[in-house]
Amino acid sequence: MSDPRQPLRLSADRDRCAGAGMCALTAPEVFDQDDEEGLVVLLHPVPAPEHQAAARMAVGLCPAGAIALDSPDSTAP
Using the contact rule CB under 6 A, the part of the chain among 3-11, 17-25, 44-52, 69-77 near ligand SF4 is 17-25
d(CA 18, CA 2): 29
Cα(63)–Cα(71) distance, integer angstroms: 21
Ramachandran angles phi, psi of 19, nearest 5°: 75, 25
User: In the bound complex, what is the minimum distance in angstroms from residue 34's beta carbon to ligand SF4?
Assistant: 10
In the set 8, 10, 23, 55, which binds ligand SF4 (CB under 6 A)? 23
Footprint on this chain of ligand SF4 (rule: CB under 6 A) = 12, 17-23, 33, 40, 62-64, 66-67
